[in-house]
């Protein structure tokens, strides 16, 4: 998936403009000439400079027959689009579910679903999902003392 450089430039131009606008709310310190807003403003100007050059380049490319949005081959294959979405979905699921469910159930579930979707044999999928989850839990929770969320297994662990 690739937008024309003009679109990319426009997006970063807007972000940089917003960034510079925000620096005006930073307080100035009396007696100090150079405050916390100086460096971000320089960076914002740099981003704007790059964006303008990118937009010029993209505009020329478009005028020469380039498209605004180029899609890769995989975006026309529903299965691959689903794979991509599933990978992202797995991360979103972990963010939403790991606190209430706990690390162990959510990690197992994520691996199991991804394994089965990507065509791992069910038995292998179950063994690896359970084994890896317990291994990671043992390493980070017991060895490294990371407070992984316990969730529904709170009473057991």
Partner 1 sequence: MGAIATAFGLVFDPYVLAIIMGSAVFGMFVGAMPGLTATMATALLVPVTFFMAPVPALGAIVTATAMAIFAGDIPAAMLRMPGTPASAAYADESYEMTKKGQLDLCMGVNLVFSVLGGIFGVAILVLLAPVLAEVAINFSSFEYFWLACLGLTCAVFIGTGDPLKGLLSLFIGLAIGTVGIDPAAGQPRFTFGNVDLLSGINFIPTLIGMFAVSELLRGAVTMEATGARIQQAVGNMFAGLGAVARRYWKNFIRGSVIGTVIGALPGAGADIAAWVSYAVSKKMSKEPEKFGTGHIEGIVDSTSANNSALGGAWIPALVFGIPGDSITAIVIGVLYMKGMNPGPTVFLQTPELIYAVFIIFILANLLMFPLGWVAIKSAKQILRVPRNILLPVILIFCMVGSFAMTNSLYGVVLMVVMGVFGWLLEEHGIPVAPLILGLVLGEMLEQNFMSSMIKASGSFVGFLDRPIAGTLGVLTMLLWAMMAWKALPFGRRQPVAA
Separation CA 154–CA 109 (nearest Å)? 18
Taking CB under 8 A as the criterion, the residue among 34, 69, 76, 78 binding partner 1 is: 34
Nearer to partner 1, 26 or 152 (CB): 26
Nearer to partner 1, 35 or 152 (CB): 35
Query: What torsion, rounded to 10 degrees, do the Cα atoms 95, 88, 129, 148 define?
Result: -20
User: How many C-beta neighbours within 10 Å does residue 142 have?
Assistant: 10
3-class state of residue 3 by DSSP: strand
3-class state of residue 69 by DSSP: strand
Binding mask 90-119 for partner 1 (x = CB under 8 A): xxx-xx--xx---x---x--xx--xx--xx
Helix axes 38-63, 5-23, angle to 10 degrees: 160
Task: Please give the residue ranges that form the binding site for partner 1 (CB under 8 A).
Answer: 1-3, 5, 8, 12, 16, 19, 22-23, 26-27, 29, 32-36, 38-40, 43-44, 46-47, 50-51, 53-54, 57, 60-61, 64, 66, 74, 80-81, 83-84, 86-88, 90-92, 94-95, 98-99, 103, 107, 110-111, 114-115, 118-120, 124, 128, 132-133, 136, 140, 144-148
């Amino acid at each position: 998936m690739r937008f024309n450089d003009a679109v990319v430039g426009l997006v970063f131009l807007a972000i940089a403009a917003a960034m510079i606008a925000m620096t005006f709310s930073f307080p100035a310190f009396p007696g100090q000439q150079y405050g916390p807003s100086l460096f971000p403003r320089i960076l914002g100007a740099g981003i704007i400079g790059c964006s303008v050059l990118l937009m010029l380049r993209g505009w020329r490319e478009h005028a020469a027959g380039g498209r605004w949005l180029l899609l890769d081959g995989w975006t026309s294959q529903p299965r691959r689009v689903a794979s991509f979405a599933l990978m992202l979905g797995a991360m979103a699921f972990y963010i939403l579910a790991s606190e209430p469910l706990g690390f162990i159930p959510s990690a197992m579930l994520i691996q199991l679903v991804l394994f089965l979707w990507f065509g791992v044999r069910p038995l292998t999928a179950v063994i690896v999902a359970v084994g890896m989850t317990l291994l990671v839990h043992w390493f980070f929770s017991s060895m490294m003392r990371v407070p992984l969320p316990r969730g529904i297994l709170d009473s057991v662990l």
